[in-house]
């Protein structure tokens, strides 16, 4: 496998836990430029993953960055876990729980009825702890400064939403959805539909269109491959 990063490459990366999507972009840009002696290189990703999520990132380089919009519009598939009985300001484990609820009375039938409310086109409000821009500023900046801000609802499509394992308060799930869907918001709204609370405890993006995370490089494997192709010792 030979690469031509300036003419353009589409690289599948399995994003590590606690890396931001921009961490991956910045690492690859610096690494590729250094190994190949390239002064300037465009590198971008086709869809953000939160730091606490892992999984498939589509990375485009050089002239292929013009195709990013195409990949962004593809249907995405996730597997994840949620915890019932509580909420957090960020809708995930980034922040500590701020509300607690009893969950022992919830039944599988209750969960199934709630699940069915989130199929097809739905209105969704992005999390306050998100990269959505409001008046030129990221929403999470307002959140961290404890400043009130209003986030507008958006229409997204949930093509498939399955509860794959239920062991209260933990619920595993699979979601196939449109561009712009926040899984954290879906989980938070699912908790509300139960008249309870829920927050995201784990998330992995497994597919974007026909691209699967099983075909993706880890950062370490990609780095080792490039070094080997260029005859550089991996020390």
* Of 167, 177, 190, 168, the residue nearest 114 (C-alpha): 190
Of 4, 14, 23, 50, which one is the catalytic site residue?
50
Q: Catalytic: 92?
A: no
Residue found by looking up tokens 């690469």 in the block: 3
Task: Outline where DSSP puts E strands in 4-149.
Answer: 10-15, 43-45, 53-61, 76-84, 86-87, 99-100, 120-124, 133-134, 137-138
- Would you say 173 and 80 are in contact if contact means Cβ atoms under 8 Å apart? yes
- Would you say 194 and 106 are in contact if contact means Cβ atoms under 8 Å apart? yes
Question: How many beta carbons lie within 10 A of that of residue 227, not counting itself?
Answer: 15
Residue found by looking up tokens 């959505």 in the block: 132
Positive or negative: CA dihedral 191, 192, 194, 197? positive
Q: What is the 3-state secondary structure (H, E, C) of 148-187?
A: CCCCCCEEEEEEEEEEEEEECCEEEEEEEECCCCCHHHHH
Positive or negative: CA dihedral 19, 122, 150, 186? negative
- Would you say 132 and 126 are in contact if contact means Cβ atoms under 8 Å apart? yes
- Would you say 188 and 82 are in contact if contact means Cβ atoms under 8 Å apart? no
Active-site amino acid positions: 50
């Amino acid at each position: 496998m030979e690469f031509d990063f300036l003419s353009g490459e589409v690289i599948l990366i399995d994003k590590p836990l606690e890396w931001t999507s921009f961490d991956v972009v910045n690492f690859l840009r610096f690494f590729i430029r250094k190994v190949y002696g390239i002064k300037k290189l465009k590198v971008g990703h086709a869809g953000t993953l939160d730091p606490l999520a892992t999984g498939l990132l589509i990375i485009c380089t050089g002239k292929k960055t013009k195709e990013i919009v195409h990949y962004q519009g593809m249907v995405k598939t996730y597997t994840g876990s949620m915890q019932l009985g509580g909420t957090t300001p960020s809708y995930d484990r980034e922040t500590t729980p701020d509300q607690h609820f009893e969950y022992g009375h919830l039944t599988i039938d209750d969960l199934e009825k709630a699940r069915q409310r989130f199929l097809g086109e739905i209105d969704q409000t992005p999390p306050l702890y998100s990269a959505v821009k409001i008046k030129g500023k990221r929403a999470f900046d307002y959140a961290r400064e404890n400043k009130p801000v209003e986030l507008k609802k958006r229409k997204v499509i949930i093509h498939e939403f399955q509860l794959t394992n239920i062991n209260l308060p933990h619920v595993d799930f699979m979601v196939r959805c449109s561009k712009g869907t926040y899984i954290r918001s879906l989980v938070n709204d699912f908790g509300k539909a139960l008249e309870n609370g829920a927050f995201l405890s784990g998330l992995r993006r497994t597919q974007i269109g026909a691209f699967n995370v099983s075909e993706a490089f880890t950062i370490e494997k990609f780095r080792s491959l490039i070094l080997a192709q260029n005859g550089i010792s991996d020390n």
